A and B are shown apart, each in its own frame.
Chain A
């Protein structure tokens, strides 16, 4: 079983739609959680951290459920520029090593 699992998609949605991505992780000792975004043929970049109480950044909302070892990302009012691969990322306790999911591809269409 992979340490971080995501639905690879693709998710094809119209502009203005709301879309949600889910991710599960296997290591219950994981301490920190993130969503990274990767555009086609580019490097990954941090989108947002995920906090236990849930957090929002504009149109993006991230949630964490430690009991179920589950992370989510909600994008409201999606834009064409949101088209990218979204990577779920988990960090262990004592190490600064990040474990990346294989990513979920989002295609927002006009």
Chain B
């Protein structure tokens, strides 16, 4: 079975450009999470969705960041305009809402470099 799929795997862009990261969760999972990981701050939750509805976006750093989940099999994280301090690895993860099932399955991540 396919795991969580993220694209692109690597992105290098210039400051001010728009960046769109994509995620396909595991089929049947109804929770989706976007994380950012840096050496300084570790793994931080940006936003998560249950059944395609945003539940908690308190981790989104500022208005330059936005996330959507138009359907159960696709989500995007957009940064517009991008800044050098946005350079990080962005992970998408998915899980089920079933009681007792807490494991989150992570995608391979998108390594973003903003010059």
Chain B residues positioned under 8 Å from A102 (CB to CB): 41-43
CB-contacts of B98-115 with A (<8 A): 102-104, 106-109
Q: How near does chain B come to A79, taking the closest CB pair, in angstroms?
A: 23
B60 within 8 Å of A (CB atoms): no
Contact between B106 and A96, CB atoms less than 8 A apart: no
Given contacts A43-B91, A43-B106, contact A96 B97 (CB under 8 A): yes
Task: Flag the segment in A10-18, A44-52, A58-66, A67-75 that touches B.
Answer: A44-52
**Could you count the A-B residue pairs with CB atoms below 8 Å apart for me: how many are there?**
45
Residues of chain B touching chain A, judged by Cβ–Cβ distance below 8 Å, are 31, 33, 35, 41-43, 45, 48, 50, 55-56, 91, 95, 97, 102-104, 106-109
> What is the interface size of chain A, counting residues whose CB is below 8 A from a CB of the partner?
19
Given contacts A43-B91, A44-B43, A87-B43, contact A98 B104 (CB under 8 A): yes
Q: How near does chain B come to A65, taking the closest CB pair, in angstroms?
A: 20
Given contacts A43-B107, A96-B95, A97-B56, contact A49 B102 (CB under 8 A): yes
